[in-house]
Amino acid sequence: MKLPRRITIGKKKYDVVVADYGPHKGCMGGVSYDSKLIHIGTRSWYSNRRFKTEEVADTFWHEVTHAILQDMNHKLEADEKFVTAFANRLTKVITKAEF
């Protein structure tokens, strides 16, 4: 999946940065609401293994889910279990869609 370089969520425009590694050791991605930045890593911090395309896409949709919930001021924004489950399903819907 080709990731966008910029997305709009609510009234905020987020730059999407794809780098070799996630923003913090052990993290595949992250979102900064203040900096309006979504950061996606393509390699593991620990093994230097390249992530599969679906793993990168899932990380992107995971961070987008956080940003959408934050824009909605929703209590589930910080609930990693919910965000992960929702993003996993969203990734599968998008990657398996038939056009």
How far apart CA 88 and CA 77 sit, in angstroms, is: 15
Domain 6-95: CATH architecture, name and number where available: 2-Layer Sandwich (3.30)
Q: For 8-26, how does the pLDDT look when each residue is reduced to its tens digit (9 = 90+)?
A: 999 999 999 999 999 988 8
Number of Cβ within 10 Å of residue 6's Cβ equals 10
For the cut 90, the answer to whether the pLDDT of residue 1 exceeds it is no
Q: For 33-59, how does the pLDDT look when each residue is reduced to its tens digit (9 = 90+)?
A: 999 999 999 999 999 899 999 999 999
The pLDDT value recorded for residue 54 is 93
The pLDDT value recorded for residue 80 is 97
**Angle between helical axes of 53-71 and 80-95 (0-180°, round to 10):** 120
- H helices of the chain, in order, are 53-71, 80-95
Taking all residues of the chain, what is their mean pLDDT, rounded to a whole number? 96
Number of Cβ within 10 Å of residue 84's Cβ equals 13
